[in-house]
Each structure stands twice: as structure tokens, then as C-alpha cells.
Amino acid sequence: MNFTIKVNGRSWTVEAEEDTPLLWVLREHCGLTGTKFGCGMGLCGACTVHVSGDPARSCVTPVSAVKGADITTIEGLSGSADQLHPLQKAWIAEQVPQCGYCQSGMIMTAAALLRQKPHPTDGDITQAITNVCRCGTYPRIRRAIHRAAAE
């Protein structure tokens, strides 16, 4: 089937089965590989993108469910290729990533949190960041979110 989806402000017509998770459409049809596959069950959050501004785990979001929605991926978060989102700047300042694989999902989750709560408490952060990082970057993620919120 053909689907038209809007990703990072650009429209794409893709041919895929309707149950195809948005994750694989983004990665293989749109070539936006910053969004990662980690668990396939919506458990780890490596695939987090924004659908109409809300964080969504794209590995369990069928492409048929996001027709017409505004989708934002890590590649489109800052709004322009040569700019960084405040969270991305904070991520560099705090030297958050280790292997880096989960970080797109972490940053997208954090960005959705900051949109809802520009000055989140530690409790807000704990509640929002349910993503998995095996390298153990959690302490720096917390610090980077606070740093971005303060700027």
C-alpha cells in the first residue's frame, strides 16, 4: 500500500504493508537511520520519535496509524541541519553518550518532556525517561536535561 507521511516537515510517499512499524519506514524508506531499533516491543525507547508533538515508540507504531500526522525524528529536532537543539548542546556539554545507540531516543523523549514541562524536577525526569541505556549514561542524562532547561 502507499502511505503519505510527513517527516521533519517533508512529505514522503512510501510503499509498505500497513502494519509496518513507523521505525522501519523511517529507517529504510526515508533513510532516516538516527531512529534506532532496540527491542521491537516498545520497551527500550531507542526508537522514540514525536508524532504530533508527543513521544511515540515507533517500533510499535504502525505506519497506517500516523497518516497525516507531523512526525519529527532526531534528524529534524533542531529544525535545521546546522543548528543544535538546546538538549543536543547540553548532551555535548555533559558528554552524555557512550556507545550512543540509545541517545536519539533519549533526546527525543527528553525534548517531549521539556515541551510539556520546561523546568522539570528530578521526579519528572525519572518518570519521563523510561528508556534503556546499557552504557549507564543515566546520571549525565539527568544533568543534561537540567542544563538544557536552565538555558
Question: Which of 7, 58, 103, 120 is the binder for another protein (CB under 8 A)?
Answer: 103
Residue 83 or residue 116: which is nearer to another protein going by CB?
Answer: 83
Question: Which of 47, 88, 113, 120 is the binder for another protein (CB under 8 A)?
Answer: 88
Which 67-86 positions form the footprint of another protein (CB under 8 A)? Answer: 73-75, 78, 84
Identify whether the C-beta of residue 151 lies closer than 8 Å to the C-beta of residue 86: yes
C-alpha cell recorded at residue 16: 509498505
Nearest Cα to Cα of residue 54 among 12, 115, 105, 95? 115
Question: Which of 47, 48, 104, 113 is the binder for another protein (CB under 8 A)?
Answer: 104
What is d(CA 60, CA 114) in angstroms, rounded to the nearest whole number?
A: 23
Phi-psi region of 79 (alpha: psi -120 to 50; beta: other; left: phi over 0): left
Write phi, then psi, for 22 (nearest 5 degrees): -50, -40
Question: Which of 2, 31, 150, 151 is the binder for another protein (CB under 8 A)?
Answer: 31
Under the criterion CB under 8 A, does residue 40 sit at the interface with another protein?
yes
Where do contacts with another protein occur on this chain (CB under 8 A)?
16-17, 19-21, 24, 27-28, 31-41, 43-44, 46, 73-75, 78, 84, 88, 91-92, 95-104, 107, 125-126, 129-142
